[in-house]
Structure 1
Amino acid sequence: METRRLGRTGRDVGVVGLGAWQLGADWGAVDESDALAVLRAAIEGGVTFVDTADVYGDGRSERLVGQVLSSYEGLTVATKMGRRVEQVPENYTAANFRAWNDRSRRNLGVDTIDLVQLHCPPTSVYSDDAVFDALDAMVDEGRIAAYGVSVETCAEALTAIARPNVATVQIILNAFRLKPLDEVLPAALAAGVGIIARVPLASGLLSGKYDEHTTFAADDHRTYNRHGEAFDVGETFSGVPFATGLEAVRRLAPALTPGTTLPQFALRWILDHPAVSVVIPGARNPAQATANTTAATLPSLTPAQHTTVREVYDTLIRPQIHDRW
């Protein structure tokens, strides 16, 4: 698999990684044996970067990643912290960071975590010097090798990129969320900050498998967070109304190269942007994990295919979401 530099971490990672949210919770039930099989299939398919968080299944995802971590060499594991408490700036303290970090290190079975990211904190946190002083101290102490941020908005990303020791920025980037292309990706590339592209398939909309009759389990965020009831609505279908997303998929379909699936097309579109270090699709079974890795072997999309993505976005999606994030 092609590798790229993961920003200021100094590490090289495969361009297709694995997002492990669904292995913990919020996407319907995934039993432990299936979750471990997904992790192994992804790694054996060339994945070297796995992204998780301390709140995914209240640590379940981290523990599952930890179970396989010791069996493979050359992996980079990123986790996130900050969502275990009420989302007020006052909770982003050095003491809390250390407590959360201790728990994550136990879950993962490591002394030093490769990359720890603030997990979409309140906007003011990105401008708080004390927060980043505390993170610098954790690097000095060997608790973490590097740190980054996971953001909701492009403005938050730009604030973080200006920080001298922020190694990576994780942001929603996909064919239905183009705003990061305007300023965030150029700024990250110029600063040497890695971009981790999350929600690359728009919560499955870009799988092409759904229609107006599709339903999701009650414990799946695509049921209970359609309007932002539990967390930022941008995390569910990238904030795109479901019906709009279905129509957008139909308009993208004619642009596919014969033999290429819509998920592969969508992942390749992201990888065509050189500022992206790694894209982190999720997978609920080994076949999905393996299929995702094949996107790294596909040729770049043609200019006409990129134009189609832009036209579909500008026509259907831009009026509904562009200014929000």
Structure 2
Amino acid sequence: MENRVLGRTGRNVGVVGLGCWQLGADWGSVDDDVALSVLATAVDAGVTFLDTADVYGDGRSERLIGRFLAESEHDGITVATKMGRRADPHTSDAYTLDAFRAWTDRSRENLGVDTLDLVQLHCPPSEVYRRESTYDALDALVQEGRVAAYGVSVETVDEALDAIIRPHVATVQIILNVFRRKPLDEVLPVAREHGVGIIARVPLASGLLSGKYDEHTQFAADDHRSYNRHGDAFDVGETFAGVPFEIGVAAAREVAALTPAGSTTAQLALRWIIDQPGVSVVIPGARTPDQARANAAAAALPPIDEETLDGLRGIYDSAIRPHVHGRW
């Protein structure tokens, strides 16, 4: 698999990583044995970047990754976690150095490591990105050896731009996919200029871009694709990339029609992200080993041809842009 430098971390990572939210919670049930098999399959397929968070299953995702790393002989794996969503209430005042220490200590225990490879602020209130004290506290974590590097996970392009200009921010994680294109013009060029890595999340728009759903698809009650369609639990942009489900299903059919022979629609959507200048790694989730293997295979596809790119752009402009472009 192609490797790229992960921004200011200086680490080389495979261009397709693994998002591990689904191994913790919120995507229906995934038992421990299946979760460990997903991790093993992804790494065997060339994945070297795992993204998790302390809040995914209240630490379950982190603990599973820690168990996998302890039981396997794979070297060169970078694990990124996130912190902040455990704050109650979730306000900007909760983002203090003492809280950072407590959150990272818990993640270090869950993952079984002394130093976290990369910790990211987990979509905090926008004010947090603008405060000097935030970055002073994050710098302290590095100085104390709790973390090797830090980054941010954001909801909006404005939050990304606030963080990118900070001298020690290593990475920005942002929603980027065929249905969420705004970062291409407003974030990726600035990140490249500053040497900041881009981690592209929600790459398949919560599965819409697999092309496998229709208007009658139902999801489990404990799946955010059921309970967060209107943003009742967290930012609605995290569910189907903020695209209304029925509109997304129809647009995904058009994307599927552009998929070249020998590839899946999901692989086309992942390859589109890989082709964007400035992207360090894309982090699709997987609930089965087969999904993990197929996602990793997207890295071996050739770059997308201009005709297909034009078609994808047209689908966005006609069907998706009015629903998402101005919001995030």
TM range, smaller chain? over 0.9
Q: SS of 2:206's equivalent?
A: helix
Tell me whether 1:22 sits opposite 2:25 in the alignment: no
Shift of 1:315: 0.3
Match of 1:98 among 76, 98, 101: 101
Question: What CA deviation, in whole Å up to 9, does each residue of 1:153-194 have, x standing for no partner?
Answer: 000001110111000000000000000011101001111000
Equivalent-residue separation in structure 2 for 1:248 and 1:123 (angstroms): 31
Instruction: Name the amino acid aligned to 2:80.
Output: A
Equivalent-residue separation in structure 2 for 1:107 and 1:188 (angstroms): 31
Tell me whether 1:265 sits opposite 2:268 in the alignment: yes
Shift of 1:308: 1.0
- Partner of 2:155 in structure 1? 152
Match of 1:321 among 311, 320, 324: 324
Q: SS of 1:197's equivalent?
A: strand
Equivalent-residue separation in structure 2 for 1:20 and 1:284 (angstroms): 9
- Partner of 1:295 in structure 2? 298
Q: SS of 2:207's equivalent?
A: helix
Instruction: Name the amino acid aligned to 2:83.
Output: M
Match of 2:307 among 276, 300, 304: 304
- Partner of 1:59 in structure 2? 59
Instruction: Name the amino acid aligned to 2:253.
Output: R
Instruction: Name the amino acid aligned to 1:197.
Output: A
Shift of 1:253: 2.1
Tell me whether 1:42 sits opposite 2:42 in the alignment: yes
- Partner of 1:214 in structure 2? 217
Question: What CA deviation, in whole Å up to 9, does each residue of 1:265-307 have, x standing for no partner?
Answer: 0000000012000000000010000000000000000011111
Give the unaligned 5+ runs of structure 1: none
Q: How many residues align?
A: 325
Equivalent-residue separation in structure 1 for 2:129 and 2:94 (angstroms): 13
Equivalent-residue separation in structure 2 for 1:150 and 1:114 (angstroms): 15
Q: SS of 1:318's equivalent?
A: helix
Shift of 1:18: 0.2
- Partner of 1:204 in structure 2? 207
Instruction: Name the amino acid aligned to 1:189.
Output: R
- Partner of 2:76 in structure 1? 74
Segments ≥4 residues shifted beyond 3 Å: none
Instruction: Name the amino acid aligned to 2:153.
Output: S
Equivalent-residue separation in structure 2 for 1:179 and 1:257 (angstroms): 25
Question: What CA deviation, in whole Å up to 9, does each residue of 1:227-255 have, x standing for no partner?
Answer: 00000000000000001111111112222
Give the unaligned 5+ runs of structure 2: none
Shift of 1:310: 0.9
Identity of aligned residues (%): 68
Q: SS of 1:167's equivalent?
A: strand
Q: SS of 1:246's equivalent?
A: helix
Q: SS of 1:278's equivalent?
A: strand
